[in-house]
Amino acid sequence: MSTIALKGEHWDGHTHGDGINHRHHKIRHKHGEGSSIDFYAYASNIRDWNPAFKVSLSMLTLVLSIVLNNPYVSLAVIVAMGYLTIIEGGLSIQAYLSILMIPISFILLGTITIGIDFSTQPIGQYNLHLGFFYVFTSLAKLKIMFFLMLKVFAAISAMEMMSLSTPSSEIISVMQRVHVPKLFTELMNLIYRYIFILIDVNIKMRNSANSRLGFCDIKTSWYTFGKIASNLLIVSFKKANAYYDAMEARCYDGDLIFLEEDKKVTTLQIAKAAVFVSFLMLLWGFTR
């Protein structure tokens, strides 16, 4: 799940040392994209929509944009999901774009191989001489490549609509309701909570190692890195123990159940979603 996926850029803990309090909020967002998605999810204006509704809408849109395989549908999906996230959800455009751009390099790498080809002869509609070989392509191929990119972005924006407006715990509880095995969902819940603790511990250890010149040169850095990694493991075990004790102290007896707010779906929301889906279908029908 994208909300849990964390990138390895949490090491900016040392910027906290600036001690300027009002900048703290800004710094917070730099803790890797993963946790900032989480942060945005809590801040979203459409967070109080029923999570099952959001998850199903996002999944349905995702499936439709893949199955219908139509550039107009893809465009409509991108616009609609962007609307939900930015206008309804109140996320800033820059933040939305920067999150949408995270996978851009993968997408480019993946689609560019479809669009272009190599040859030793100057063939194809367009070609470019690059020393020993030619890169060639055609309008038709470029079109395929472009449509594929649109489709991928449509799929991503559908997923982001969900993850930028629904905190992980709510997504997990939706999964629970559709009978994803309990072991799996409970693990996800714990891991989710745990990640933040480990990140914190990791930042603290790194900072303290840093202050003792633990990263002064490459060799020392590797050594310190190893120490921190193994220490992190030990600390996790200890923390897991303490955690379990605390849960037991509050009468935990093997079933992880959380209090959830009832978030009602309005008929209007369902109607709008239905209109949107039929619109996609019609669009597909007319432009096939």
Partner 1 sequence: MGEPILKIRDLHYAYGNGTPALNRIDADIYEGEKIAVIGSNGAGKSTFFLNANGVLTPDRGEISYRGTIINKKNLKELRKNIGIVFQDADNQIIASTVMAEVGFGPMNLKLPKEEVLRRVEEALTYMNILDYKDRPPHYLSGGEKKRVSIADIIAMKSEIIIFDEPTAGLDPLNTQMLEEVLDKLGSEGKTMLISTHDVDFVYRWAERAIVFSQGKIIADGTPLKIFQSEEILKKANLKRPTLMEVYDLLVEKHLLEDTKAYPTSTQAFKEMLGNM
State which of positions 40-69 bind partner 1 (CB under 8 A). Answer: 42, 47
* Strand order through the sheet with 126-130: 117-119, 133-137, 126-130
In this complex, which beta carbon is closest to partner 1, that of residue 42 or of residue 126? 42
- Looking at the Cβ atoms of 169 and 231, the one nearer to partner 1 is 169
User: How many CB atoms are closer than 10 A to CB 49?
Assistant: 22
Cα–Cα distance measured from residue 217 to residue 222, given in angstroms and rounded to the nearest whole number: 9
Residue among 169 and 210 whose Cβ is closer to partner 1: 169
130 near partner 1 (CB under 8 A): no
Do 65 and 158 touch, CB atoms closer than 8 A? yes
Within 193-252, the residues that bind partner 1 by CB under 8 A are 193, 196-197, 200, 239, 242-243, 245-252
96 counts as binding partner 1 under rule CB under 8 A: no
What are 141's two structure tokens? 């191929």
Per the listing, tokens 């996230």 go with 85
**Whole-number minimum distance, CB 95 to partner 1, in Å?**
16
CB 52, min distance to partner 1, A: 17
Choose one: 153-161, 175-183, 205-213, 257-265; the region binding partner 1 (CB under 8 A). 257-265
The smaller minimum CB distance to partner 1, of residues 9 and 200, is found at 200
Please give the Cα distance from 16 to 24 (Å, whole number): 7
Complex with partner 1: residue 52 or 142, whichever CB lies closer: 52
Q: Among the candidate windows 57-65, 82-90, 162-170, 221-229, which touches partner 1 by CB under 8 A? A: 162-170
- For strand 126-130 and strand 133-137, is the pairing parallel, antiparallel, or unpaired? antiparallel
Residue number with CB closer to partner 1 (138 or 169): 169
Asked if 180 contacts 186 with a C-beta cutoff of 8 angstroms, the reply is no
How many C-beta atoms lie closer than 10 Å to residue 11's C-beta?
A: 15
d(CA 150, CA 14): 39
Distance in angstroms (rounded) separating the CA atoms of residues 17 and 13: 8
- Decide: is 38 part of the binding site for partner 1 (CB under 8 A): yes
Q: What does the binding site for partner 1 look like in residue numbers (CB under 8 A)?
A: 28, 38-39, 42, 47, 167-169, 189-190, 192-193, 196-197, 200, 239, 242-243, 245-253, 257-261
